Structure 1
């Protein structure tokens, strides 16, 4: 029961952080939303920072579980670049779509994204989390993957921008869309076109070196 209560506190806290911001939410607000006293809340978490730390830990756990589910590489850049190139295209497509669903449809992750979007200009630590999870981090990950397909680091980063940029934009488009499935369709079309292009370039390179 205590474990369930701790998880419920995380979920409610993150909902409030996504609505009012981390800085704009107090422990009193969290306790009120949960229908408990502040004293009862402090028995589970000593501070708002501790709640945030556990939220980040849970996000990391979800990331690792998702990568394992889709058998995606989690090694150092050179290692996962090599592994990624030998991953079936269908698996890459499925994982990319799962990433999008994670950040838009999964309530915990979607609220985490909204919180970071709200707070990135007000709190340096949350700004860094925004970069790690939604901006620079994913971009660097993709650039490392594409490095084996590019002539230079700059070219790899360009590929990463071309792939991840539309996905990043579609997060916000999804939030405001009345017909959300149309946004998912746009994402699938983008992924399919990009993968087709990469596959064509890989085939051309193989022909030139054979």
Structure 2
């Protein structure tokens, strides 16, 4: 790991524990094991480090979605016809495999966990960060899922209900599971089992053909 990456890693660790304002450039340099002046060879200031962390997270999240064959533009993901057709022809077990990837990333990826904690702290200090936190944690996911459900309802895969409300009903238990188990990694398997049971239950209630079991 080069020095710049070590600075980013140490900064994220400190920001996720203390927030942005209480952490000094000296704190970061000390955590990395370099002189404070050396840090400025890589970043203009602490804000530059913070902005780099935000950009890096956005790129990582885009990559996760692209691996799942979801389409996106500037982190605004939309359910296009190709994506809807992919889900329309998917079995419940295949779907659970895909959402399990997102679950694992959200709950176990060290960078993601620290980034989320950093935003959780900073949302109370910075309105722009609060908006970003809501966007990443809630708005994008619900909006994307609503678009996906709208297409799947039209395709006859789900009963005819308000797709946005359906998206909220889909995600609300998931958000509850995330926050209940976030600080209990020893219970991660319990969280995942409950998460997958929710997927089954949701499909049983709203799916017209129970997502075509194999």
TM over 0.5: yes
In structure 1, what is the Cα distance between the partners aligned to 2:86 and 2:132?
Answer: 25
Unaligned runs of 5+ in 2: 155-160
Q: CA deviation at 1:147?
A: 1.8
Give the whole-Å Cα distance in 2 for the aligned partners of 1:84 and 1:129: 29
Report the structure, 1 or 2, having the larger helix content: 1
Instruction: Point out 4+ residue stretches in structure 1 off by more than 4 angstroms.
Output: none
Matches of 2:137 and 2:60 in 1, distance apart? 15
Q: What is the count of residue pairs matched by the alignment?
A: 200
Residue matched to 1:88: 90
Gaps of 5+ in 1: 204-210
2:17 is aligned, of 19, 22, 40, to 19
Task: Give the structure-2-normalised TM-score.
Answer: 0.81
Aligned to 1:57: 55
**Correspondence list, 1:79-118, <5 A:** 79=80, 82-83=84-85, 85-86=87-88, 88-89=90-91, 90-118=93-121
Distance, in Å, in 2 between the alignment partners of 1:137 and 1:145 is: 12
Corresponding residue of 1:168: 175
Instruction: After superposition, give the CA deviation of every residue in 1:69-106 in whole Å (9 maximum; x if it has no partner).
Output: 23334376351663454352444322322222212200
Tell me which of the two structures has the higher relative contact order, counting C-alpha pairs closer than 8 angstroms and 6 or more residues apart. Answer: 2
Structure 1 contact 19–115 (Cα < 8 Å) conserved = yes
Structure 1 length-normalised TM: 0.83
1:197 shift after superposition:
3.6
